[in-house]
Amino acid sequence: MGLVNHTLVTHFILLGIPNTDGLQTILFVVFLAYYLCTLLGNLLIFSAILGDSRLHTPMYFFLCNLSVLDIGFASISTPKLLANLWGQSRVISLRGCMSQVFFYHLLGSTECLLYTVMAYDRYVAICHPLRYLVIMNWRVCAILGAGTWITSAFHATILTSLTFTLPYCGPNVVGYYFCDIFPVVKLACADTYIIETVTFTNTGVVAMTCFFLILVSYVCIVYSILKINSAEGRRKAASTCSSHLTMVTLFFGPCVLIYTQPQLSKVVLTSVQIFGYVATPMLNPVIYTLRNKEVKGALRKLRRGQTTAR
């Protein structure tokens, strides 16, 4: 009988970025530029790696996965945010909201696990160089790559199912610029303790486990680098990890602030979230391009191929 009295919500209204009245046009241009640069940069990296047989190695296989993730991450919320800023289209359907929640946690968890796999790849390359191709063979790489996606899909399915089995009977205004679990469940007309606890615990366990494994990998890497006799050898070994370390810092930094500082103001929290999930996907191709001679060479080869085709 209780369900009969509920007016079930069929759509939500996204309030967007707080305290931005009068800045919609400027923000639209900025976010559109970020989004286009993200798509272009990651597509170039992906195409360059596929087109250069010298880059068909485990490290670049995982980098291709990362490029796909960054394109997906930027596409979860940015198009809807642009529509909000340009046309004041703040309405999102229930299915659209479910999709944002699912893909946000699918891609976020996959990226977290992928950084861990990439750290393991660097550990094997530096600590066991003579056995690298035996340990990181294509079968192992395929299992690790597929495992990150399958595990994350299971993770995201559980969280999304728990979120949208709750009844939503109004209000339907989400105080955020996209649908995430915590802003959405605040609107549920039922007890949300279980879903909030499961989400916080599940997300925290995944992130902390990955961070711990990455930390252990780099402790072993640093120890191995310090045992190298030549300064040039140490420099080369360290340079192979610098790009990955930079990306890990950019990924986990915002996560730490978001999930360990709940008292942050909405403006600061939104700024951190935007940097982590809008700006970072654009920066990853730049980081790998600027710090990697092999990727630069593949991009030049790709550009020459396009010029010749013309």
d(CA 28, CA 89): 13
Check pLDDT > 60 for residue 212: yes
**Could you tell me the CA-to-CA distances from 93 to 9, 98, 100, 166, 184 in Å, in that order?**
9, 9, 11, 16, 13
Rounded mean pLDDT, 180-187: 88
Q: Would you say residue 151 has pLDDT above 60?
A: yes
Sign of the CA dihedral with 52 first, then 214, 111, and 86 last: negative
DSSP string, 229-242: SSHHHHHHHHHHHH
- pTM value is 0.88
Q: In what order do the strands lie in the sheet with 11-14?
A: 91-93, 11-14, 173-174
Token couple for 262: 């709940």
pLDDT tens, position by position, 218-245: 999 999 988 888 888 788 778 778 888 8
Residue 262's pLDDT band (cuts 50, 70, 90): low
Task: Please give the pLDDT value at position 234.
Answer: 82
pLDDT at 183 > cutoff 60: yes
The answer to whether residue 289 scores a pLDDT higher than 80 is no
What is the structure's pLDDT at 146?
96
What residue ranges in 100-234 does DSSP mark as E strands? 173-174
Domains and CATH numbers, the chain: 11-309 (1.20.1070.10)
**Whether pLDDT at 30 is above 50:** yes
Give per-residue pLDDT as tens, 152-164.
999 999 999 999 9
Using CA atoms, how far apart are residues 253 and 132, in angstroms rounded to an integer?
30
Q: Residues of the chain with pLDDT > 70: what percent?
A: 90
Q: How many CB atoms lie within 10 A of CB 124?
A: 20
Name the DSSP class of 190: S
What is the distance between the alpha carbons of residues 229 and 209, in angstroms, rounded to a whole number? 33
Residue 178: predicted pLDDT: 87
pLDDT at 110 over 90: yes
Question: Residue 3 pLDDT > 60, yes or no?
Answer: no
Binning pLDDT at 50, 70 and 90, where does residue 145 land? very high
261 pLDDT tier (thresholds 50, 70, 90): low
pLDDT band of residue 263 (cuts 50, 70, 90) is low
**What confidence score (pLDDT) does residue 5 get?**
44
Mean pLDDT, to the nearest integer, of 59-63? 90
Mean pLDDT computed over every residue of the chain = 84
